[in-house]
């Protein structure tokens, strides 16, 4: 991966995430990345290929998150990590997550497969903690954390720590 290729991917991520995929022209990506437009098509085939390359770069993050959770066997600690890591999304990753969340609403792009594995892991966790309805509990916390990420990315609220400790109390962590 050359420097120019990295420039293209970085700028494409930024523009896709902030302006939207359809509203971002390949010409603008090229201009901002300081390369010729043709180079984008040479390396990534077409505009959709560019998007795929951007997403592929970030898939490692998702895998890393899942793996780190899988390795924590204490259910109480695992639940705590799921909650805390959502509150502590590094700000360098905001653009990437913003792209992921924006793409959800672009009909053809939505892919649920990743969250299915996470759901299963959480069901396991609540089962181990002897909750009454582990499946519903897993669904609840996923829905909650999904809304939380949305709030962090869009509204950047300052009361986050109060919300975090409230959740700790609620789950007795």
Please report, as ranges, the residues that interact with DNA according to CB under 7 A. 2-5, 24-28, 34-39, 41-43, 46-48
Q: Among DNA, a second copy, none, what does residue 71 contact (CB within 5–8 Å per kind)? A: none
Using DSSP, state whether 162 is helix, strand or coil.
Answer: helix
* CB of 5 or CB of 164, closer to DNA: 5
Residue with tokens 């895998």: 63
Are the C-beta atoms of residues 4 and 39 closer than 8 Å to each other? yes
Distance CA 169, CA 47 (A): 47
Q: Are 82 and 101 in contact (CB under 8 A)?
A: no
- Residue 151 engages a second copy in binding (rule: CB under 8 A): yes
Nearer to a second copy, 38 or 49 (CB): 49
Q: Which residue number, 73 or 110, has a Cβ lying nearer to a second copy?
A: 110
CA dist 28 to 2, 77, 152, Å?
20, 46, 28
Q: Which residues bind a second copy (CB under 8 A)?
A: 18-20, 22-23, 98, 101-102, 104-107, 110, 112, 133, 135-137, 139-140, 142-148, 150-151, 154-155, 157, 159, 162-163, 165-167
């Amino acid at each position: 991966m050359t420097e120019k290729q990295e420039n293209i991917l970085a700028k494409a991520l930024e523009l896709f995430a902030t302006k939207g995929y359809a509203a971002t022209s390949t010409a603008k990506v090229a201009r901002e990345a300081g390369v010729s437009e043709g180079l984008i098509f040479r390396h990534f085939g077409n505009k959709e290929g560019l998007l795929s390359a951007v997403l592929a770069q970030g898939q490692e993050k998702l895998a890393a998150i899942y793996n780190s959770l899988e390795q924590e066997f204490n259910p109480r600690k695992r639940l705590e990590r799921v909650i805390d890591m959502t509150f502590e999304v590094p700000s360098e990753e905001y653009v990437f997550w913003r792209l992921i969340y924006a793409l959800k609403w672009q009909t053809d792009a939505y892919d649920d497969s990743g969250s299915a594995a996470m759901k299963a892991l959480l069901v396991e966790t609540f089962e181990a903690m002897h909750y009454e309805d582990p499946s519903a509990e897993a669904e609840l916390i996923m829905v909650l954390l999904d809304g939380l990420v949305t709030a962090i990315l869009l509204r950047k609220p300052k009361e986050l720590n109060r919300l975090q400790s409230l959740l700790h109390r609620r789950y007795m962590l």
